[in-house]
Structure 1
Amino acid sequence: MRRLALLAGLALLTGCVSMEWRGSMVPHLEINGDDGREPKPVALNRGALRPTEPGWPQFRGPARDGVTPAQGVEPDWSSAPRARWRVPVGEGHSSVILSGQSVFTMEQDGEEELVTARSLDDGEILWNYGVRTRWGDFMSGVGPRSTPTLHAGRLYALFTDGSLVCLEADSGKLLWKTKIIQEGYEFPEWGLSCSPLVWKGLVIVTPGGEKGAARAYHSGSGKPAWVSDFHGEGVYLSPCILNLLGRDQLVTAVSGRIAFLEPLSGKTNWEAPWKIFLNNAQIAQPLALPGNSFLLSAGYGKGSEGLAVSAGKEEPYLVKTAWRSKNLKSKFSSPVLKDGFVYGFNENSLTCLDASDGELKWRGRKYGYGRVLLAGDKLVILGNTGILSVVEANPEKFMETYSGQLLSDDRCWNGPALAGGYLVARNGLEIACFDWAQKQ
């Protein structure tokens, strides 16, 4: 064992291999050199494009909850989707968004981070917009972490240096640009990761920081609208709106704390401790549950809590823990809700819980630290090694209907987009479009 460790260390020092972390604390070793891993553009026989509305316009889909709308076609969930095209892409963990006949993501190109628009038809680049910046760290690698947001013909994107831009979606023309961080800002350990939220004329971002953890800008001009009093070290949560007791609440977090903010003003309505073993870094998104409740979940041994919200006598909101579970520890992937049941990853294993009391319904297979989407009564899972799987969203039993390699075996923490029967997925090497309405 000591000899093996010594050889591995020598290989790293001499550049023979590289080390990549895929979600567990165990590194994945790769042999360097000309190994044919650089993907070659592939275009197959393609038919005319179908409509994709309402598309997949932002991080985790139309409602930011991992649920895809009706597809307009009937996918064959028991077989592999047919590849339409496959092209190279730059590094980064940005997810994919899809609208009309365009696909958008962010990627690294040398010393620039790019917002890139590609054709849904063939993967050709339509335009890109770059900011000269580069984030890289040992654990999570190189490239942008945030996912752009499309709203009313405009694309809003956040770069790892804190640049927030508004672009024309059709052309990539810059409409405005601002910086969301100030001098002295302490970056999260693995980079600035929040994806912009567009809500009622505002663009909301949650970088964290001692001078205001959440910030809003007017979507038309980029001028500041508000800065929150809520502050603290930034984490990896993207801003989201949950409706609780009939009011919209902006749910956000900093290291060790969770909060509701008034989304029009940034005023703090409620905050409480939310401690996570090891790093206090919240990654998984909050999930709305039935009956003025919501779910928080985290990895690193933390688990999940179902939280019930009621009106307090002295405080406007009274939030109590309804249940706790160690059977859903969502490290990277945010869970989804279907008919009162929660589906998500317990570290890297798929599980189903009853949303009312946290009771474990079943444990499924290990899929790695990937992403899960809900499409009708199916769970669409893209594992962190590029394997696509489909599982029935059925609380009675675990049943997988399909599993197969979709992308190259490179670290995949990027969320796919699913609309109109088209699945667009990427990792740090390639981006590809698949048609689930056509059999292989």
Structure 2
Amino acid sequence: MASLVSRSQNGLPFSIKCDKIDIVHLSIIMSTHKTLFLLCALGLAGTPFLSLKASENRWPAFRGPDRQGHSLATNVPIEWETKGKIGWKVPLSLSGWASPVVDQGHVIVSGSREEAGSITLHVASYRLADGTLEWETKVFEPDPQAIKARHSKNSHSSCTPILANEKIYAHFGHFGTCALDLNNGKVLWSRVVAYQPVHGNGGSPALVDDRLIFSADGASGPAIYALNAGNGEILWKTDRQTDAKKTFSFSTPLSVQVKDQTQVISPGSGMVGAYDPSDGSLLWRVDYGEGYSVIPRPILHENHVFIGTGYDRPKVMAIRLDGATGNLTQSHVAWETSRSAPNTPSLIVAENVLFYLSDGGILTCADPISGKVHWSERLGGNYSASPVSVGSSVYFISEEGKVSVVHANPEKLEILAQSELGERTLASPAMLDGTLLIRSADHLWKMIQP
């Protein structure tokens, strides 16, 4: 029987760091009104209005501007078979499940190409307006000995790039990490952090000020690394402190601000840790036993961070953030449940309700603070992509290519629309004003409002 453990709740205001913007109570504000969000962010963070407004036409990283799947865009199509329209659909010559990212009218994808037994890794730019290929750059050609067997669902390019300051930061796990010029694809620097992967690569990096932070959780010696975003030099490495027997995982870190302290929250096998980005020191940890192959990216709501704990028996766990340090396993886990918990898709909060979707298609709607389940229904299909939302509409894309848009209704499962791609996909979509971008196995799609 699945467990739901409720514990004490209290905490202090905090913010999430994204694109060097501190947005106070992000999840609450974004779930009300866009104008209120912009005004609060402008007044509380002192951030120029135009930089916030620009986020509606940027999708700069895995899970978007806030790294949690939320969009401020308007007129995003919810379906295209009857009311929407396919703006363009272009074939992809690169294989991979890295999600598309967008800035300044450029759609960036990374991928691999296999020829005569060798594999090369590439980054490509497509024009947002019409899908024209602008440039493609080969960035790595791994030694054949470095190409290990990967999971049948995985690819050689499953890590999503980051766009910032007219640069592309592309990560390919143990194959290497590099920076390119957004406008012409010129390689600015490259770095290989070697470790022994299991099932291939997966986790994307996080850009925290001038540091590119990522996990290197392989078959042994799991660790967190920080690279200098300016030149690729290794700034620090912190070994994971875990007793898990299987040490490989694939999660993407999330940077948050807690009581004026930046924390990089990074789940791994057997534990989730919060790290100081300046030196990699461990600030706090929560243990969860033998959980491994952890994939979901953490999300933040009010003063709680929500994580998935990986195989073989995944749990959803809510952890209170109040500035405490040390081992918080017994004191700060607000609730946890193993009922229909995901192995792969990340979680999302929309309209103050929490959604999590099992890999097998069971969608659960719950109260994020107490963990109380409002409803749990079968959405159908199999899922790896992480959901995204705009307003009260939450988008889920199945591996079979079905796009379901669900209203964030705590009373019942309310499907607003469903559309079929007709192609397999494991990548997460991107949202812009009037636009939904999707990467499938063979194509890059731009859906628009008619």
Q: Same fold (TM over 0.5)?
A: yes
Name the counterpart of 1:389.
404
Q: Which has the larger radius of gyration?
A: 1
After superposition, residues 109-188 of structure 1 pair within 5 angstroms as 109-110=113-114, 111-130=119-138, 131-133=140-142, 137-181=150-194, 185-187=195-197
Shift of 1:415: 0.7
Name the counterpart of 1:190.
199
Q: What per-residue deviation string (whole Å, max 9, x for no partner) do you get for residues 115-166 of structure 1? A: 1111112222111122213665352254311011000100000124431100
Indicate which of 57, 62, 71 corresponds to 2:60: 57
Contact 1:80 1:402 in 2 (8 A): no
Gaps of 5+ in 2: 1-53
Shift of 1:317: 6.2
Shift of 1:105: 1.1
Shift of 1:218: 1.5
Q: Tell me the distance in 2 between the aligned counterparts of 1:127 and 1:88.
A: 14
The DSSP-based 3-state class of the residue aligned with 2:59 is: coil
Name the counterpart of 1:429.
442
Name the counterpart of 1:366.
380
Q: Tell me the distance in 1 between the aligned counterparts of 2:257 and 2:340.
A: 23
Name the counterpart of 1:25.
none
Name the counterpart of 2:103.
99
Tell me the C-alpha RMSD between the 2 structures.
2.4
After superposition, residues 8-407 of structure 1 pair within 5 angstroms as 53-71=56-74, 73=75, 75=77, 80-89=83-92, 90-110=94-114, 111-130=119-138, 131-133=140-142, 137-181=150-194, 185-187=195-197, 189-208=198-217, 213-230=223-240, 233-276=247-290, 280-290=292-302, 292-298=303-309, 300-310=312-322, 312=324, 315=326, 319-347=331-359, 348-364=361-377, 365-369=379-383, 370-405=385-420, 407=421
Change (3 A) 1:289 1:328: farther
Contact 2:154 2:200 in 1 (8 A): no
The DSSP-based 3-state class of the residue aligned with 2:387 is: strand
Contact 1:259 1:270 in 2 (8 A): yes
Change (3 A) 1:265 1:229: same
Name the counterpart of 1:31.
none
Letter in 2 for 1:273: D
TM-score (norm: length of structure 2):
0.77
Q: Tell me the distance in 2 between the aligned counterparts of 1:362 and 1:324.
A: 16
The DSSP-based 3-state class of the residue aligned with 1:137 is: coil
Contact 2:356 2:365 in 1 (8 A): yes
Gaps of 5+ in 1: 1-50
Shift of 1:328: 4.3
Contact 1:135 1:142 in 2 (8 A): no
Contact 1:117 1:127 in 2 (8 A): yes
TM-score (norm: length of structure 1):
0.79
Q: Tell me the distance in 1 between the aligned counterparts of 2:328 and 2:289.
A: 20
The DSSP-based 3-state class of the residue aligned with 2:447 is: strand
Contact 1:94 1:106 in 2 (8 A): yes
Q: What per-residue deviation string (whole Å, max 9, x for no partner) do you get for residues 346-387 of structure 1? A: 332221010111111112322421431111110012111111
Name the counterpart of 2:49.
none
Q: Tell me the distance in 2 between the aligned counterparts of 1:150 and 1:311.
A: 30
Contact 2:126 2:134 in 1 (8 A): yes
